[in-house]
């Protein structure tokens, strides 16, 4: 279980300019839709962007705080 603000903080450690939107899908704080907008994605292929976000959240995935998530990424202009 992880709160949205904690997830946002983890993402911003990797992407300081990130605009982050997180939706808890089940109310159990472990299934999420995540949207990350960042200038760091400029010129980066979609799958690599997703890997970057997964990497930023890898600790929370490994310890079970995040069970499932759907990731969307956009380039922040």
- Residue 27 CA to residue 19 CA, distance in Å, equals 22
CB neighbour list of residue 46: distance below 8 Å, 6 or more residues apart: 73
Predicted structure pTM score: 0.92
Tens-place pLDDT, residues 2-23: 999 999 999 999 999 999 999 9
pLDDT for 50: 97
Report the domain count for the chain: 1
CATH number for the domain harbouring residue 13: 3.30.300.90
Tens-place pLDDT, residues 29-74: 989 999 999 999 999 999 999 999 999 999 999 999 999 999 999 9
pLDDT for 77: 85
3-state secondary structure of 3: coil
44: domain range?
4-75
């Amino acid at each position: 279980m992880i709160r949205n603000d904690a997830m946002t903080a983890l993402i911003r450690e990797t992407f300081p300019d990130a605009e982050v939107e997180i939706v808890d899908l089940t109310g159990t704080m472990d299934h999420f839709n995540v949207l990350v907008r960042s200038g760091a994605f400029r010129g980066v292929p979609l799958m690599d962007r997703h890997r970057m976000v997964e990497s930023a959240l890898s600790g929370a995935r490994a310890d079970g705080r995040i069970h499932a998530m759907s990731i969307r990424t956009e380039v922040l202009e």
